[in-house]
A and B are shown apart, each in its own frame.
Chain A
Amino acid sequence: MSRVSRFVRTSSLSLFFGALFLVTLAGQAFAGWHQVNAEQAASGLGRYSFIQYLGSAAFAVDVVENWQSEYMQFLLYIVLTVWLLQRGSPESKELDRGGQESDKDQLIGRYATADSPAWAKAGGWRTGLYSWSLGGVMGVIFVLAWLAQSITGRAAFNEQRLERLQDPISWTAYVANADFWSRTLQNWQSEALAVGTMVVFAIYLRQRGSPESKPVGAPHTSTGIEG
């Protein structure tokens, strides 16, 4: 097997989702461009070129409002599963392991192994920071995407207000506006539903071979076992 083939096989999960992201983003851009131009034409307003649409607030807010909610979902899932448990779910840790666990369990400091990451071995603030790096990066991306949603959402909302012959509103007024919270909460509720149902469905249902599922023959009461 060549190096390229081996790389593709051993990174197929990230490569697939990377490619799917690019394809679907391009599809969203193309469909969104047609949608916005249909609305502009129906209102007797000027149309966007494709390049103009790619740089528009209308496209940007549609993209980043989904980004923020996805990163919010994973931030909560990564951090809350440190403490919150679910009997019978492979998404939960075993019921007696709630919390940040011991250094020995986490292979940090003097319990680090030879191939542990350098900052896991280092101790002190570097190990502390590295211990929260996954949730921290997800959190930073979530906050930045949510901020970007507020900025681009305000611009898109103000474009609609000008179309209706209304004055534009400030950023502070926008983040208190129903449009901002409607965009935000419609995404958050769907993330909460999807994650919540996955946690519960995985207690009773199985997907053979998936690490997100218990083994097919595992009892419903077993917790923290992945297939």
Chain B
Amino acid sequence: MPVPSRAAIVLPLERGDQAGCTCFSEVITALLINRELPARTVADTTSSGSACRYSAVVRRLRIVVVSAIALLFGTACSSGEGDDPADGTVSGAVTVATSFHDLVASGEPASACFLLSPSARTELQNAAAKPCPAALADEALPSPGEMHETAQFGSMAQVRYANDVVFLTRFHNGWRVVAAGCTAPTTASGVYDCAVEGS
């Protein structure tokens, strides 16, 4: 996916209203998953008088920063729609699952670890006896390929790709990955065997 020019991304400072929430989340999402911003977002934010520009100096830290902001910001933006990672609907789960895979593929496991559920992160670290980023890098998760199907039931969601199945759970601040790198069940129990797996 093409990476947008960070210098062109303008973030609004007013975050009190819901429109600002959704807009800000779209920018965060675009940063998280390295894709082009929706045209509306760019136009809206460019027209904002109170704005700040991300400089090249902070570029290396951007993913960690925006991931942390997304975690905090999700609480106030849970009613947003579309690509908002804090969106409680299945589209929010898709955003997080895709972001997780994109971050792993782009060699940013530390940021990907932010998108794991606490239990998945703990189990990954305990199993590998390493910090989460190192343990996640060791797993060599497959490239997911094209997304085929999604399902959401209550606080759980499943996103099926051509080469992977990701399971997510919804927290108060958005969806988090509980299992990824899952291979099709081979036993009668129908339980997936997953490279990354929370309890």
Contacts and interface: CB of A to CB of B under 8 A. Distances in A.
B185 interface: yes
Interface stretch (A112-120, A157-165, A196-204): A157-165
Contacts of B161: none
B156 A159 contact: yes
A46 B172 contact: yes
Contact of A166 (B122, B176, B192): B192
Given A40-B155, A155-B154, A162 B176 contact: no
Contacts of A46: 117, 155, 169-172, 176
Interface in A161-183: 161-168
B191 A162 contact: no
Interface residues of B, number: 31
A58 interface: yes
A162 B172 contact: no
Contacts of B156: 45, 158-159, 162-163
A75 interface: no
Count class of interface residues, chain A: 20 to 34
Contact of B157 (A57, A161, A162, A167): A162
A36 B43 CA distance: 44
B185 A166 contact: yes
A112 to B, nearest CB: 53
Interface string A29-63: 00000000000100111111100100011100000
A148 interface: no
B198 interface: yes
A162 B118 contact: no
Contacts of B167: 162, 165
A162 B192 contact: no
Interface of A: 40, 43-49, 52, 56-58, 155-156, 158-159, 161-168
Given A46-B176, A165-B191, 13 more contacts: A40-B155, A44-B117, A46-B117, A48-B155, A57-B154, A156-B153, A158-B153, A159-B154, A164-B191, A166-B185, A167-B158, A167-B185, A167-B190
